[in-house]
Chains A and B, each alone.
Chain A
C-alpha cells in the first residue's frame, strides 16, 4: 500500500515537470501556431544555466532558478525573432521541421561545449528527508511541487487578470481582430515565447536537480509534454495541467507495477485511449 502512495507521489513530481514544459508549449502553440520541438533544448539550456550558476558562482538554487528563467526568457525572444518570425504564416510542417533543425543545432552545440557526461545540479536540499504519514520525501522533491504550483498560479493570474494576459488570450482567439483592437502582435509573440521559454527553464532547473543534466536531456520530456498538450487540448492551459498529472501518474504507476522497460510507451497508449474517447482533449475545445 505504501508503495502505491510512494509511486503516486513520484507521479505528481514528474507530472509537475511535464506541466511546466507543456504550459510553455501550449502557449506558444496557441499564439504562434508552431509546434516547437526545440522546446526540450530550451529546457536543457535552462538546466545548464542553473547548473553553471549553482556550481561556479555558488548562488542559492532557488535564486539560480530565477536567473535561469530570466536568461532563457531573453534567449526566447531572440529565437522567436530570428528563427520563427521569418516563417510566420507558412504551412505547419515548415515550422515543425524548423524546430527540428533548431533542436539538432542546440543539442549538438551543447554536446561540443559541455561534453556528453551527465552532471547534477546540487540544490542543497536533496539530503533533507521528510517523513509524512509514512511517506519518504526529500525536501528537494517537495520543492519541485511547490515551485511549479507557484509558477502555475502566477501564470494563471497573469493570463486572467493583467492587460497583457488579456491581449494574449485575444490573440489566441483571433489574431486579426486583436490586431484591429490595437494589440501589438509582434510584442505579444515575443512575450509569449519568452514566457514559454522561462517556464521550460524553470522545469529544466528542477529536472536537473531531480535527475541529471546532459545535452539530449530535453528530447523525451518534450515529446511527453506534447502528449500532455494534445490530451489537454491545444492551447488549453487548464487541460494541460490535468493531463500532465494524468501522464505523470500513469507513467509512475504503470512503470512501477507493470513494466519499467516500456515506460516511454505508456504515453503513446494513453494518448491513443484519450484520442479514441475524447478526441477534442480532456477538458474539451480550445480555451
Chain B
C-alpha cells in the first residue's frame, strides 16, 4: 500500500510540474495568464503568512505592509538609482524582512487579540507613511513607470519580460523557491519548535525552546517573502500606490490562508489560487459583488472552520479510518 502511495505521489508531483509548465499555453486568453501571475504572487504571500499564522500560531494583520515595503523599496531603487531588478528585488525582500524583525522584537511578546490589533495598527501606520511621505513615495499619486526586469540571455533562449507568459515563469520560479524554503523550514528542527509554540508556548519553553527567537525567525522569514512578492508585483504591474497595501489587503491574504487551511503547507497555496480566480465569477453580480463576498466569507468560516485542505484531510484521510 505504502509503495503504491509513493508511486501515486511521485506521479502527482510530475503531473503538477508538467501542468504548471504548459498551463499558459492551454489558456485561451492573455487575461487568464494575468490571473495566474497574480495567483502566483498571492501564493508567495499566503505561504509566508501561513508560516507565521498556521505554523507558529502568531496572528499578523500587517502582511500587506511588508508586501508594500518590498514593493516600494525595490521600485524606488530602480527608479531613482537605476538598480537592476535582480538586485533591487533582494534588497526589497531583505528590507521587508528587517522591518518585520524590528516589529517582531517590539510586539511578539503580545499574544492573540493583542498581537492581532497591534499588527493591524502597524499596517495602518505603514500605509499612512506611503501616503504622507510625498517626497519619496509621491503619496496617493503612486509611483508610475517602474522598469521591467532586464532580459536574460541564456544563449539558446532569450527571455525579455514583455509578455505575460514570461512573467508567469518568473513568478513560478520564485513561488517554487519560496515554497521550497518554507517547506524545508517547517520540516526542520525550527519547524518542530514553531509547531510546539503554536500548540502550547509555555510547555515548549519548559522543554528548552527559546520561543521568542523562534517566533522572531518565523516573523522575519515571513516578512522577507512578503517583501519578495511585493517587489515582483511592482515590476510586473509597473505602477504601485498605497491603496494596494492597506489593511483590507492584509485581510484578503489572511482569508486565503484560512480558506485553504492554515495548518497545512498546501492550504495557503490552494486558498490563494481559488480566491484569486473565484472572485472573477462574482464580477457577474456587478454591484452586489462585495456584499456577496462578505456573505461568502461568513459562510466559509461557519461551515469550513479549519479550511478547505484541512477539512478534506480530516474527512477522507483521517488515520482513524
Q: Are A87 and B302 in contact (CB under 8 A)?
A: yes
Specify which of B122, B251, B288 is in contact with A268 (CB 8 Å cutoff): B122
Provide the B105-130 mask, 1 if CB < 8 A to any CB of A, else 0: 01101101110111011101100100
**Given A94-B301, A97-B258, A264-B128, are A108 and B118 neighbors across the interface (CB < 8 Å)?**
no
Q: Which of A255-275 contact B (CB under 8 A)?
A: 261-262, 264-265, 267-269, 271-272, 275
Residues in B with CB closer than 8 Å to A101 are 294-298, 300-301
**Given A92-B112, A279-B110, are A262 and B128 neighbors across the interface (CB < 8 Å)?**
yes
Nearest residue (CB) in B for A83 is: B298
Residues in A with CB closer than 8 Å to B210 are none
Size bracket, chain A contacts: 35 or more
Specify which of B120, B125, B255, B290 is in contact with A97 (CB 8 Å cutoff): B255
B14 interface residue (CB < 8 Å to A): no
Majority-rule SS of A interface residues:
helix
| Docked complex Cα distance between A261 and B112 (Å) | 30
Residues in B with CB closer than 8 Å to A106 are 294
Residues in B with CB closer than 8 Å to A100 are 251, 255, 297
Give the Cβ gap from B305 to chain A, nearest Cβ, in Å.
5
* Chain A to chain B contacts (Cβ below 8 Å), 13 pairs: A29-B113, A96-B113, A97-B254, A100-B251, A101-B297, A102-B298, A104-B297, A108-B294, A111-B290, A261-B128, A269-B125, A271-B121, A275-B114
Residues in A with CB closer than 8 Å to B293 are 104, 108
Q: Are B302 and A86 in contact (CB under 8 A)?
A: yes
Residues in B with CB closer than 8 Å to A279 are 109-110
4 extra interface residue pairs, beta carbon distance < 8 Å, beyond A83-B302, A90-B305, A223-B121: A93-B258, A112-B288, A271-B121, A276-B106
Q: Are B125 and A234 in contact (CB under 8 A)?
A: no
| Docked complex Cα distance between A149 and B53 (Å) | 40
Nearest residue (CB) in B for A270 is: B121
Residues in B with CB closer than 8 Å to A35 are 113, 116-117
Residues in A with CB closer than 8 Å to B128 are 261-262, 264-265
A59 interface residue (CB < 8 Å to B): no
Q: Are B113 and A234 in contact (CB under 8 A)?
A: yes
Nearest residue (CB) in A for B293 is: A104
Q: Which of B4-44 contact A (CB under 8 A)?
A: none
Nearest residue (CB) in A for B287 is: A112
Q: Among A96, A106, A111, which residue has the most Cβ atoms of chain B within 10 A?
A: A96
Give the Cβ gap from B42 to chain A, nearest Cβ, in Å.
17
Provide the B296-312 mask, 1 if CB < 8 A to any CB of A, else 0: 11101110010000000
Q: Are B117 and A97 in contact (CB under 8 A)?
A: no
Residues in A with CB closer than 8 Å to B107 are 275
Nearest residue (CB) in B for A34 is: B113
Q: Are B294 and A104 in contact (CB under 8 A)?
A: yes
Residues in B with CB closer than 8 Å to A97 are 251, 254-255, 258, 297, 301
A48 interface residue (CB < 8 Å to B): no
Q: Are A87 and B117 in contact (CB under 8 A)?
A: no
Q: Which of A141-174 contact B (CB under 8 A)?
A: none
Q: Are A87 and B301 in contact (CB under 8 A)?
A: yes
A105 interface residue (CB < 8 Å to B): yes
B244 interface residue (CB < 8 Å to A): no
B93 interface residue (CB < 8 Å to A): no
B205 interface residue (CB < 8 Å to A): no
Specify which of A86, A98, A107, A230 is in contact with B114 (CB 8 Å cutoff): A230
Residues in A with CB closer than 8 Å to B53 are 93
Nearest residue (CB) in A for B127 is: A264
User: Which are the 5 A-B pairs with shortest beta-carbon distances?
Assistant: A105-B294, A101-B297, A104-B294, A101-B298, A268-B121
Q: Are B113 and A223 in contact (CB under 8 A)?
A: no
B132 interface residue (CB < 8 Å to A): yes
Q: Are B59 and A275 in contact (CB under 8 A)?
A: no
Give the Cβ gap from A107 to chain B, nearest Cβ, in Å.
8
Nearest residue (CB) in B for A92 is: B112
Q: Among B124, B125, B132, B258, which residue has the most Cβ atoms of chain A within 10 A?
A: B125
| Docked complex Cα distance between A223 and B122 (Å) | 12
Q: Are B291 and A92 in contact (CB under 8 A)?
A: no
Residues in A with CB closer than 8 Å to B110 are 275, 279
Q: Are A268 and B124 in contact (CB under 8 A)?
A: yes
| Docked complex Cα distance between A104 and B290 (Å) | 7
Residues in A with CB closer than 8 Å to B255 are 97, 100
Residues in A with CB closer than 8 Å to B121 are 223, 227, 267-268, 271
Q: Among B112, B121, B296, which residue has the most Cβ atoms of chain A within 10 A?
A: B121
Q: Are A109 and B132 in contact (CB under 8 A)?
A: no
A103 interface residue (CB < 8 Å to B): yes
Provide the B223-244 mask, 1 if CB < 8 A to any CB of A, else 0: 0000000000000000000000
Nearest residue (CB) in A for B129 is: A265
Q: Are B118 and A275 in contact (CB under 8 A)?
A: yes
| Docked complex Cα distance between A276 and B53 (Å) | 23
Q: Which of A73-102 contact B (CB under 8 A)?
A: 83, 86-87, 90, 92-94, 96-98, 100-102
A214 interface residue (CB < 8 Å to B): no
